[in-house]
Amino acid sequence: MAIVECSFYSQALLGMTKMNVFLPTPDADCAQKGETKEHPFLRGERFPVLYLLHGMCEDYSTVLRKTRIESYAKKAGIAVVMPDGENSFYLNPKFGRKYETFIAQELPLFVKETLPVQGPGERCFIGGFSMGAYGALRLALKYPETFSKVMAFSGPYDVTELRAPEEGYFPMHPEALGGGDVQELAGTDADLYCVASALAGGDRPRPEIFLSCGTEDEYYETFVKTQAVFSDLGLAYTAQEAAGGHGWDYWDPALLSALGWLTEDEA
């Protein structure tokens, strides 16, 4: 796989940001077998693309450091974009950079213009870990015309249950979630169940959903609750769980499994 490390101006963020992109290209093993010329990259193919969102305290380099995403993506034959989201929960905050607009509106179009990937509404997928799982799932439910499939790993899907700063938790989310009491987010646009309900009540397209969580994960109950909410709303999903906690030991093999799900209907 080729890797393209990018630094570029974002209109949504009103500043520079970075991302890493993996793309299928002829590798050493391809050259060894004399198969380079037949490689889809050299035939001008535009690849299915997965936008993978990192978690809290992380950045655009985290996923490629903590997982074997490159070999999984190569096997799946897809491009992977790993953008930066700071600690934004991938929302447009009252104060701060507009990460929802960036990830859901600007980025898929910008990347499609710049690199050989498919665009919004085509084979364009999203996924994420922890805070990135909340981000990916919420954005797929809110922008199903852009993202047709979503994979979410161990997300804090119920924002009203996020631990408050005074309980010894890092005070990282106040800016992203409005700075007030997280209870007040119920029923708002940051409430993922609210976004899901709005989608379920209408006739817009629905993304295919893959939810994964470790059974020892602190968000396992949220994972179970979210499945119940989706069932009640009539939103179809695939759920996978295994022994494991909130961390990369669980997420790396879960990612491989999810990519199998992502591409099982590809020819």
Partner 1 sequence: MFFATYKFFSAALGREVNTRVILPSREAKDPFEKESFRPYQEEPLKVLYLLHGGFGCEEDWLYMTRLASLVRKGRAMIVMPFAENSYYQDLPYGPGYWTFISEELPEMILPMFPQASRRREDTFAAGLSMGGYGALRLGLAKPERFAAVASLSGVLDLKARIADSKGSLASRGLRFSDNFFDEDEIGDSDLLVLMKKAAEQKEKLPRFYFSVGTEDFVYPYNQNAKKQMDACEIPYHYEEHPGAHEWSYWNLYIESVLKWMKLIP
Please choose, out of 28-36, 50-58, 204-212, 242-250, the segment that lies near partner 1 by the rule CB under 8 A: 28-36
User: Distance (Å, rounded) from C-alpha 133 to C-alpha 244?
Assistant: 17
Which residues make beta-bridge pairs with 16? 9
Residues 29-68 that bind partner 1 (CB under 8 A): 31, 36, 41-42, 44, 46
Cβ closest to partner 1, residue 4 vs residue 164: 4
Which residue is associated with the tokens 């769980």? 241
Residues 97-156 that bind partner 1 (CB under 8 A): 105-106, 109-110, 113-116
Q: Cβ distance 154 to 212 under 8 Å? A: yes
User: Distance (Å, rounded) from C-alpha 135 to C-alpha 127?
Assistant: 8
Please, what is the minimum distance in Å from the beta carbon of residue 149 to partner 1?
22
For residue 67, the surrounding DSSP H or E stretch is: none
27 binds partner 1 (CB under 8 A): yes
Cβ closest to partner 1, residue 106 vs residue 252: 106
Please, what is the minimum distance in Å from the beta carbon of residue 13 to partner 1?
11
167 binds partner 1 (CB under 8 A): no
Task: Look at phi and psi of residue 57 and say left if phi exceeds 0, alpha if psi is from -120 to 50, else beta.
Answer: left
**Closest to 78 measured CA to CA, from 53, 118, 122, 48:** 48
Residues that bind partner 1 (CB under 8 A): 2-11, 14, 23, 25-28, 31, 36, 41-42, 44, 46, 105-106, 109-110, 113-116
